[in-house]
Structure 1
C-alpha cells in the first residue's frame, strides 16, 4: 500500500511539474489544464475510493470533504487548485504513513528479536526446525549468538543471556542448570541445553508481542472522545459550507472551506501519541495493555504496595529460632512437618531451613488445615500442632507468657515476622523470618513522588510492628497491617473513593486487589500468566525501578497528546478565519493542513526517545 501510494505521488507530482514547465515555455494553456486534470484524477482516485468506501459504512470522513472540494474546483475551472489539493493530500498521507512507522519502531525492534530457527534433538540427531514446530518436552540446543526459541528449563550448560526483549534490562544474566529461560532472549557467551516448556504462541515473548500489538490498537478515553467529535464535526463543516455558499454565493470560498476544515491533525493527534508511548514502554520491559491504562497511569494519586514479593524480594529466610523445652533443630523439624503441605512463602522458608540443617527426610503431618490470615494446624504423633499468629493461638485458647510476648515484640520491632509454634497445652517456640527489602525500593518511592504521586501506602498481612519497621525504613506515608485478602480489597475500595489508585503486587495473591484498583500493576511478571492476565500494566523485570518510569512516560504521553490536540485545533480555527477573511486559498490551506499533520506525528515520535527524568537518588 505504501509503495503504491508512493508511485501515485511520483506520477501526480511529475504531471504538475511538467505542466508548469510547458506553461513557462508558452505551450497552449489547454495542455497545462489537461495535465492538471489528469494529475487530479491520478491522485484523487484513491481519495474518492476511500470516501465512497467510508460512506457505505455511513462514515462521512476527511476524504469525502476533499473529494467534494476537488470535484467542485474542476467544475469551476480551478484546475491547478484541484491538482495541488489532491497531490498534497496523497503526498501528506504517504509521509504520514512513513513517519508513523517510527512510532512503531519499538514493536518492530521486538519483532526483529523473534527467533527464526530452533535446533532440536529428534531420534538422536540434531535438526533445525521453525520455533513453531518445536514440541513441548523436546530438547533444544542454543549456542553463542543464537536466540532462544522457547521458554524452557536449563538441563545443562552455562551461558550469559541478554534478556532485554523480556525485561528491558540489557545487562546479561547467568543461566545454568535448573534455571528458566525465555524465548526471544539471546545467548551472548556459553551454550545451553533446554527442555522446552512453552512453545510457539504460548511463549512469554509471543504473548508479549500479542499484547503490545493489541494495546497499540486499543483506544484511550481522549482518543474515543476525539473520534466521537470528528463523527459530528465533518457533517457540521459540510452544513457550514452550504450556509456560507447560500450567504456569499462564492463557490470557490465554499470549496476552500471544505478543504481546510479537514480535521486530520486532530483525529491522528491521540492515537499517534498512544502508539509511541506504548512502544516506548515495551522497549523498556513495561507492558502497558492499552491507551486507556497508559493515560490513566499519568493520573495516579495513590500507589498501594503489597509488601511480600513487591517491596521485598519475596524470598524470606529463617533468621532466628527460639525454643522452649526442646532443641532448635527439633522445633524446626516439627514446624517443617506441619508446613510441608503449605504453599505459603513463610512455610517455604521454614522447610528450606529445615532441609538445610537436618538430613532426615521430612514427612508431612496429617489433617492439615489453613486459617486464612492466622496460620495452620496439623497433627503430628497424634498431637495437634499450631503455627501462626497470636490470634490463632488466642482463638484456640493457647496461653502466651509475658516472656514470650516480650520476645515477639522485640523481633517484630526489628522487622522480623515471628511465627509461634504451639500445641494445646503450651507454646513450643518462635521462628523468626525476614524477607530482604529490595535495594531499589526506597529510591523508587522517592522517584514516585517526583513523578507526581501524592501518597504511597503499604498493604500487608504481616503484623503491625513489622509493617511499621518496613514503612519507616522505606519512607512510606501509611501502612495497613494484618489484612486478610478480602480486607485488602476493602482498603483499596476505601482509598479509591476520592483518589485515583494504583495497586502494585505480584499478580498472584493480590489478583483481586489488582483487578479492583483503577490501575493494577504486576511486577516481576516474566512468565507469570496471572500477572499478565490480571494487571493493566506489567513490569517484566523483577525490579521496582520501572514503575516511576512508567508513570513518567504516562505523564509525558498525556502532555504530548494535549500538545497535539491544542495545536491541531488552533490550526483548524486559524485556517477557518483565514478562509473566511479571504487570506487563505485552497492549495495553501491544504499545504498548511498537511504540514500540521506531519508536525503532530513528529511531536509524537519524540516519545519513542523518552528516557525518563527521575533518576535514583
Structure 2
C-alpha cells in the first residue's frame, strides 16, 4: 500500500499506490496537503489507475517533503463515512441520452448489445456497493436496470440509465455550486509579492516572506500578510473577510489583513503574520473543516436514508412475489430516499454559511448552525462585547498623604502598564501620552492574569489592578478610598487601584460605552426565541448593576468574577436553562467558549478565543448575532422542509408504482425530478432568507454609556 515511484523527471514525479482506492481516504484533502508543501505547483490524481502525479520546483528539499508526507498520511485525511463518487461526465451523459432517444428506432440486434454495454457500469456499481457497503441506493439502481435488461425492455433500461446520469450530474452541480459559493468568500493566496529588500523592490515567492518584511501592494493586488501599514494610503475591499462591500480607507498605523484587495492607492505593509498564521489562512481552515464534517442531524438523516434503501428493496421484491409483475417491482425500485436526504442538508448548510459570511458571520460548519438555532440562553462577557472596549480615563485621584499629584500617579501607573496589550492598559498609557507625561524607567514587569500588573519602576515595586488584587492578594489597605470608590461606581465608572510598598497610592477611574446597537440586538434575540440573556463581568456589583439601566433586556448579571469562574457559571447555566451560547473576546474567555454549546467570538478577539469559538463575527456590529441566529433558524427550517418533502413525495411515487399507475421510466423521472427540485430549494432558501445587517440597523440608535471592568485589571 506504500507509494512507489513509477516515473521521475527533474521537476515531476509519478507515483502509484493502492491507498488511493481506500474509500475512506479524502483525496481532495490529500491534494490540499500536498499543495501546501512549498515548491509544489500541481497535483493530479487518478484514483482508478491508483496514480498520483506531482509537479514541483525540482529541489531535493521539496521532493523529500512530498515523499515524507505520502509515507505517513495524517489520520485526518481519512474519514470513515466518506465515499468517493465518480465525477459526472457531461459527454457520457449526452451519449446516454442520445442512445435512450434512439433505442425505439434501432434494430433489436443492435439495441441489445448497446443497451447491455450502457447498463453494465450501473449494474457493476450496484454489485460492488452491495458487496462492500450493503444495500444502498446504487444497489437499487443496478437491480432496476438488470430487471429491465432481463425482460429485454431496452427502451426502459436506457431511459433509466440516462435519467440516473442526469440526476447524478445535476446533484453534483448543485452541491458543487453550493461549495463554490462558500469558498468564494476567500480569494486564492497570492503566489508572489513585492518586498522592500535593501532599499530595492524585489519580487519574491509568497513562501519567502518573513515577519518584519515591508510588503508593497498596489491597485488590484491582494494583501498576502497580516500587518500594519507603514506608508501610503488606499481604499481596501475587505468583502472576502468581513462581508462589507464598502471599501475602507486605510492609512499609516492601520492594521491590514490578508485577503483584502487594494482598489485604489498603494500601501507598504510591515508583515506581522505570514503563511498559515494569517487571518485568511485561519478562515480557510475553518471553511475546510466545515466542508468535511457533518452535524448530528446530518448523520441521523444519512443513517435514516441508509435504512430506507433495504426497506425499498424488500418492498419491491415482496411486490414481485405477490403480483408476479416485474414492471411494478421495477417501478418501486427506481424510487429511493437517499439522494435528497443526504444531499439537501449539506447544500442548505453551505449556502447558509455563504450568505451569513457575506453579512459578516463565519459559522464553522453544520454543527454551529444546528447548535445556534437551538440556543435558549446567551451569555455575554461584558468587556468588548456589549461594550465597545474603548476605555478612557475620567478621574486620577491620589490617596491622601501621598507625595504624588495626578500626573505623578498617572505616569507611575502608565509606566507599569505600558507593555501590557489590554484595553485598560492602553487607556492609561493613552491618557498619559495625551497629557504629555514622560514615563519613568521600567526594569521588570509581571502580568498577573485576571488580576493586574506588578512592575519595578525606578527601583520600586508598583502594583496596578483591581481592588481584589491590591487588597486581598497583596494585603494593601484600600479602605481610605472606599467612600470615594462607591461614589465613582455609582456614576458607572470602573476603578484601577495603584499601590507601592504595601501602601495605596491612589485610584484611576475609567469609563466604557455600551455599543449603540446592543439594546436593539438583545431585543431582537429575545424576539428570535432566546429566553434568557446573562452577563458575566469582573466588575464590582455596584458597577455591574448600572448596565441594567441601559440594557433592560438582560435577565441576570454575575459580577466580581475571575476567569475560571466564567466556565463554571456557563456550565451551571447550561445544565439549568438548556442550550447555551457564550459571546466573548479575550484569552480568558476561551474556557467559557469551549464549555458553551456554541462559542461566539468578537472580531478583534484574541487568537485563542477565535480558535475556540464555533461562530466568529467578522464585523464590529452585534447585529451580526441576529444574522447568525436567523440564518441558523432558517437553515433548520429548510432542512425540515426538505426532509418532509423527500419522504412525502417519494412515498407517493412508491404508492403509485405499487398500484401500477406508473411505469419504471415514469417513476424514475418523477423521483429524479423531485430530488433535483428539493436540492434546488435547499440551495436557494439559504441565500434568500439570510437577513442583512443593513436591514437590521435601527435609525434611532443612540450611544449609551456604562461602566466596564475587565476581569483581570480593574474593580
CA contact (8 A) 2:174 2:347 kept: no
The structure 1 residue matched to 2:496, chosen from 419, 422, 444, is 419
Other-structure match for 2:666 = 588
Tell me: CA distance 1:596–1:443, structure 2 relative to 1, closer, same or farther (3 Å).
Answer: same
Tell me: CA distance 1:4–1:484, structure 2 relative to 1, closer, same or farther (3 Å).
Answer: closer
Displacement of 1:591: 0.7
Other-structure match for 1:27 = none
Residue deviations 1:111-134 (CA, integer Å, cap 9, x gap): 446445422345654344553454
Tell me: CA distance 1:525–1:55, structure 2 relative to 1, closer, same or farther (3 Å).
Answer: farther
Tell me: CA distance 1:450–1:49, structure 2 relative to 1, closer, same or farther (3 Å).
Answer: farther
Aligned residues: 604
CA contact (8 A) 1:149 1:183 kept: yes
The structure 2 residue matched to 1:451, chosen from 511, 518, 528, is 528
Tell me: CA distance 1:268–1:168, structure 2 relative to 1, closer, same or farther (3 Å).
Answer: same
Residue 600 (structure 2) pairs with residue 521 (structure 1)? yes
Displacement of 1:102: 2.9
Other-structure match for 2:96 = 12
Instruction: Give the Cα–Cα distance (whole angstroms) in 1 for the partners of residues 208 and 446 of structure 2.
Output: 44
Residue 141 (structure 2) pairs with residue 62 (structure 1)? no
Instruction: Give the Cα–Cα distance (whole angstroms) in 1 for the partners of residues 112 and 174 of structure 2.
Output: 28
Displacement of 1:536: 0.9
Residue deviations 1:33-77 (CA, integer Å, cap 9, x gap): 8447635643x3443454345345324321211111111111112
Other-structure match for 1:615 = 696
Residue deviations 1:234-284 (CA, integer Å, cap 9, x gap): 223223333322222222222222112353222222222122222223333
Instruction: Give the Cα–Cα distance (whole angstroms) in 1 for the partners of residues 296 and 598 of structure 2.
Output: 15
The structure 1 residue matched to 2:287, chosen from 212, 217, 236, is 212
Residue 284 (structure 2) pairs with residue 183 (structure 1)? no
Displacement of 1:522: 0.7
SS class of match (2:514): coil
CA contact (8 A) 1:33 1:79 kept: no
Other-structure match for 2:43 = none
Displacement of 1:422: 4.2
Displacement of 1:321: 1.4
Give the superposed CA RMSD.
Answer: 2.8
Residue deviations 1:204-240 (CA, integer Å, cap 9, x gap): 2133123213202221111101211223222232233
Tell me: CA distance 1:417–1:123, structure 2 relative to 1, closer, same or farther (3 Å).
Answer: closer
CA contact (8 A) 1:260 1:586 kept: no
The structure 1 residue matched to 2:507, chosen from 430, 441, 455, is 430
Which ranges of structure 1 fall in alignment gaps of 5 or more residues? 23-29
SS class of match (1:436): strand
Tell me: CA distance 1:57–1:537, structure 2 relative to 1, closer, same or farther (3 Å).
Answer: farther
Moved more, 551-560 or 8-17: 8-17
Map 1:161-560 → 2, pairs under 5 A = 161-323=236-398, 324-325=400-401, 326-340=404-418, 342=420, 344-364=422-442, 370=448, 375-376=452-453, 385-392=462-469, 394-395=471-472, 396=475, 398-401=477-480, 404-422=481-499, 427-475=504-552, 476-497=554-575, 498-525=577-604, 528-560=606-638
SS class of match (2:546): helix
CA contact (8 A) 2:331 2:663 kept: yes
CA contact (8 A) 1:59 1:231 kept: no
The structure 1 residue matched to 2:170, chosen from 75, 95, 100, is 95
SS class of match (1:170): coil
SS class of match (2:166): helix
User: Greater RCO between the two (CA within 8 Å, min separation 6)?
Assistant: 1
Instruction: Give the Cα–Cα distance (whole angstroms) in 1 for the partners of residues 88 and 452 of structure 2.
Output: 68
Tell me: CA distance 1:538–1:56, structure 2 relative to 1, closer, same or farther (3 Å).
Answer: farther
Instruction: Give the Cα–Cα distance (whole angstroms) in 2 for the partners of residues 120 and 425 of structure 1.
Output: 52
Instruction: Give the Cα–Cα distance (whole angstroms) in 2 for the partners of residues 288 and 250 of structure 1.
Output: 51
Tell me: CA distance 1:113–1:383, structure 2 relative to 1, closer, same or farther (3 Å).
Answer: closer
Give the TM-score taking structure 1 as reference length.
0.90
Residue deviations 1:369-418 (CA, integer Å, cap 9, x gap): 74x655455566776655444444553261524xx333222221222102
Moved more, 597-606 or 562-571: 597-606
Instruction: Give the Cα–Cα distance (whole angstroms) in 2 for the partners of residues 482 and 76 of structure 1.
Output: 80
Instruction: Give the Cα–Cα distance (whole angstroms) in 2 for the partners of residues 298 and 118 of structure 1.
Output: 42
Residue deviations 1:135-190 (CA, integer Å, cap 9, x gap): 44433211123222222332211112121111111222222223221222111221
Instruction: Give the Cα–Cα distance (whole angstroms) in 1 for the partners of residues 186 and 499 of structure 2.
Output: 57
CA contact (8 A) 1:113 1:165 kept: no
Instruction: Give the Cα–Cα distance (whole angstroms) in 2 for the partners of residues 550 and 178 of structure 1.
Output: 32
CA contact (8 A) 1:525 1:531 kept: no
Tell me: CA distance 1:313–1:64, structure 2 relative to 1, closer, same or farther (3 Å).
Answer: same
Other-structure match for 1:26 = none
Instruction: Give the Cα–Cα distance (whole angstroms) in 1 for the partners of residues 377 and 578 of structure 2.
Output: 7
Other-structure match for 2:44 = none
CA contact (8 A) 1:269 1:568 kept: no
Instruction: Give the Cα–Cα distance (whole angstroms) in 1 for the partners of residues 501 and 224 of structure 2.
Output: 55
SS class of match (1:119): strand
Residue deviations 1:438-459 (CA, integer Å, cap 9, x gap): 2322222122223221221111
SS class of match (2:233): strand
Displacement of 1:517: 0.3
Tell me: CA distance 1:278–1:382, structure 2 relative to 1, closer, same or farther (3 Å).
Answer: closer
CA contact (8 A) 1:214 1:290 kept: yes
Displacement of 1:568: 0.2
Displacement of 1:495: 0.7
Tell me: CA distance 1:334–1:151, structure 2 relative to 1, closer, same or farther (3 Å).
Answer: closer
